Amino acid sequence: MSRPTGRIHELEHHAADWTTTRPVVSGTQGVVSSGHPLVSMAGMRMLLSGGNAFDAVAAAGFAAAVIEPTASYTLCGECVALVHDARTRETLALSGQGTAPALATTAFFRGRGLDRIPTGPGAEAHLSFTVPGAVDAYLTLLETRGTKTVSEALTPALQYAEHGFPMYEYMHRLLAIPETQSQFDIYPPGGTAVFYPGGRVPQVGELFVQPALGATLRRLVEADTKARGHRLAGIAAARRRFYGGDIAAAIGGFSERVGGLLRASDLAGYRARYEAPLRTTFAGREILGQSAWTQGPVLMQALGMLASFDLPALGHNSARYVHVVSEALKLAFADRERYYGDHEDAFASIVDLLAPAYLKERAALIRMDRAAPEAPAPGHLRRRGVEPRAVAPVSSRVSGAAGSSAAADGTTHIAAIDREGNMICLTPSGGVFRKSAFAPELGCTLSTRSEMFVLEDGHPNALVPGKRPRTTLINYLICENGVPTTTVGCPGGDDQAQADLQLVLNLLVFGMNPQQAVEAPRFSTQTLVNSFYPRVYKPGQLNVEPGIAESTRAELRALGHAVSEIGACGIGAVVTRRDPGSGALSAGADPRRPTYALAW
pLDDT grade for 394, boundaries at 50, 70 and 90 = low
> Pairing between strand 207-208 and 273-275?
unpaired
Is the pLDDT confidence value at 13 over 60?
no
Q: How many CB atoms lie within 10 A of CB 329?
A: 27
Mean of the pLDDT values across residues 413-430?
98
| Angle, helices 356-363/297-306, rounded to nearest 10 degrees | 70
Which residues partner with 87 through β-bridges?
none
Note the pLDDT of residue 593: 94
Is the pLDDT confidence value at 383 over 70?
no
Mean of the pLDDT values across residues 570-581?
97
Mean of the pLDDT values across residues 26-43?
98
Is the pLDDT confidence value at 401 over 90?
no
- Taking CA atoms, 421 is separated from 9, 478, 581, in Å, by 17, 14, 12
pLDDT grade for 410, boundaries at 50, 70 and 90 = confident
pLDDT tens digit sequence for 243-273: 999 999 999 999 999 999 999 999 999 999 9
Note the pLDDT of residue 18: 75
pLDDT grade for 228, boundaries at 50, 70 and 90 = confident
Q: What are phi and psi of 497, to 5 degrees?
A: -65, -35
CA 37 to chain centre: 19
Give me the chain's average pLDDT, please: 93
pLDDT tens digit sequence for 106-155: 999 999 999 999 999 999 999 999 999 999 999 999 999 999 999 999 99
| Angle, helices 319-339/356-363, rounded to nearest 10 degrees | 120
pLDDT grade for 379, boundaries at 50, 70 and 90 = very high
Is the pLDDT confidence value at 453 over 60?
yes
Mean of the pLDDT values across residues 569-588?
97
Mean of the pLDDT values across residues 291-314?
98
CB 378 within 8 A of CB 389: yes
Which residues partner with 428 through β-bridges?
79
For residue 82, the SS3 value is strand
Is the pLDDT confidence value at 206 over 90?
yes
Note the pLDDT of residue 229: 82
pLDDT grade for 12, boundaries at 50, 70 and 90 = very low
Give Rg (Cα) of the chain: 22
CB 532 within 8 A of CB 493: yes
pLDDT grade for 16, boundaries at 50, 70 and 90 = very low
pLDDT grade for 4, boundaries at 50, 70 and 90 = very low
First to last CA, the chain: 36
Residue of 43, 48, 152 whose CA lies nearest to 424: 43
Note the pLDDT of residue 84: 98
Residue of 137, 131, 205 whose CA lies nearest to 167: 205
Note the pLDDT of residue 501: 98
Cα torsion at 397, 400, 402, 403 (round to 10°)? 40
Cα torsion at 316, 322, 323, 328 (round to 10°)? 100
Q: What are phi and psi of 63, to 5 degrees?
A: -65, -35
Note the pLDDT of residue 297: 98
Say if residue 546 is preceded by a cis peptide, omega within 30 of 0: no
pLDDT tens digit sequence for 508-554: 999 999 999 999 999 999 999 999 999 999 999 999 999 999 999 99
pTM score, whole prediction: 0.94
DSSP annotation of 465 reads: T
Q: What are phi and psi of 81, to 5 degrees?
A: -150, 160
